[in-house]
Amino acid sequence: MTPDTVSTMPSGTTGFSRNRRGLLLVAAHSLWLWLLLTPAAAIAHGQVRPAAPAAAGLVVFALFYLALVAVPVADLAVRPVVHHGGLVLFALLGIGLAVAYGGGPEGWLVLFLYVATVGAVAFVRPAWGFGWVGGSVAAIVVIGVAHRLPAADTAQMALITVLGGTLTLAFARMARLVEELRRTQRELARTAVEQERLRFARDLHDLLGHTLSLVVVKAEVVRRLAPMDPQRVVTEATDIERIGRTALAEVREAVTGYRERSFARELDSVRTTLADVGIAVTVQGVDRPLGVEADDAFGWVLREGVTNVVRHSRASRCDIEIATDTDEAVLTIRDDGVGSRPQYGNGLRGLTERLAQAGGTLHVGPAHDRGLRVTARLPHSPTRGWTS
């Protein structure tokens, strides 16, 4: 379907409902045909000769009008070439009837009011619609002059056609804007659902990735100490149980949507994790509180960054530093491990997306001497200030 006509394919229940409403509107349009009663009465009273072609032409004209209105109003699936051809035939039929019978006082020029309105409904482009209405008015003037009808009658019918066509154009435009707004609302709702699914998947990965890594580390400690230090094994097993219960609680909080990941809480957790695996940790610049958005985002970066240190680095030291100024806050995580070109899995991709949503950036690369450096930057803006 070209953009010049309103004829869209219905889909599913929404399309069926829209078609049903459209057919009801088409039925209501049949009441609009009362203006054809004047020429119909003239035919019935024998004032039009020959009567049979005039009656047949008037009936076909009325049915043609309802069919053409039904295409855009009821969203019928009609090929544009067929619809355009129908509009042309309808206009030619109206012109033919007006030329043949417009010389009498029976009001045959009213046919052009229907020609103008059906085109105003059909065309999406306003310029085409106004052109169609203008053409209908011009036909009224030409036929009125040709039949030497009273100028007042011709001018009156031309004015009615202009008003009817213009009002129909305005109404059709408003209806299209309302439908476009509804489509936009549906698209926004769908996008919001997709974003929420991505957020939940990212949060769940960030939650369980760190916790399960810690459980694995604790289990390895238990396995190594089992033959020589049973008391330490009991302690480590108790920690594993505690970590598992904490993870379960965090997952429940994530499901209900009320989970909060503060940077201070994550910092305490990673200190314990690094100490358990024998990695020394230094922390700098955490005395100044962060804003709410930075606190949450940096908490996730710290969790994922330290998880990668524990899993892959074989480091003996990890440095965590926060630097803030009036423009931005920067979180840096460095280790002295083996270092390697980072592979952007789900964790790093999730962190990149999370920081990008807040206007920040994430950089992962080798440190100057050895190991790996993770740098997260979050700019300050009027909508996300730092707490004091």
Task: Read off the pLDDT of residues 189-248 as tens digits, 9 standing for 90 and up.
Answer: 777 767 767 776 776 666 666 667 777 777 777 777 777 777 777 777 777 777 777 776
Q: Helices 80-101 and 51-73 sit at what angle, rounded to 10 degrees?
A: 150
Residue 129 has pLDDT above 60, yes or no: yes
Helix axes 346-357, 151-225, angle to 10 degrees: 130
| pLDDT number for residue 291 | 78
Output the CA torsion 196→202→203→209 (10° steps): 160
Contact 341, 356 (CB under 8 A): no
β strands within 303-379, DSSP E: 317-324, 328-335, 361-366, 372-379
How would residue 332 be classed by pLDDT, with cut points 50, 70 and 90? very high
- Give the bridge partners for 334, in sequence order: 319, 373
Q: In sequence order, what E strands does the chain have?
A: 280-284, 317-324, 328-335, 361-366, 372-379
Nearest alpha-carbon partner for 290 in 325, 244, 333, 338 = 325
pLDDT of residue 5: 40
CA atoms within 13 A on the CB side of 26: 21
pLDDT at 8 over 50: no
Q: 117, 161 in Cβ contact below 8 A?
A: no
Section 107-130 average pLDDT: 85
Per-residue confidence (pLDDT) for residue 11, from 0 to 100: 42
Structure tokens at 32: 């609009």
pLDDT number for residue 21: 63
Average pLDDT, the chain: 78
> What pLDDT band is residue 27 in, cutting at 50, 70 and 90?
low
Cα 117 from Cα 372, distance rounded (Å): 71
The predicted structure's pLDDT at residue 17: 53
**How far apart are the C-alpha atoms of 140 and 137, rounded to whole Å?**
5
Q: What is the per-residue pLDDT across 334-375, written as a single tens digit (0 to 9) for each?
A: 998 886 666 666 677 778 888 888 888 999 888 877 888 999
* Per-residue confidence band for 26, with pLDDT thresholds at 50, 70 and 90: low
**Whether the Cβ atoms of residue 121 and residue 66 lie closer than 8 Å to each other:** no
- First-to-last C-alpha distance (Å) of the chain: 59
* Residue 58 burial by Cβ neighbours in a 10 Å radius (0-12, 13-18, 19+): buried
Q: Which of 147-151, 286-290, 340-344 has the highest mean pLDDT?
A: 147-151
- The letter for the amino acid at 88 is V
Cis peptide before 126 (omega within 30 of 0): no
* Run of H or E including 85: helix 80-101
| Entry pTM | 0.46
Q: Output the CA torsion sign for 156, 161, 164, 167.
A: negative
pLDDT at 92: 92
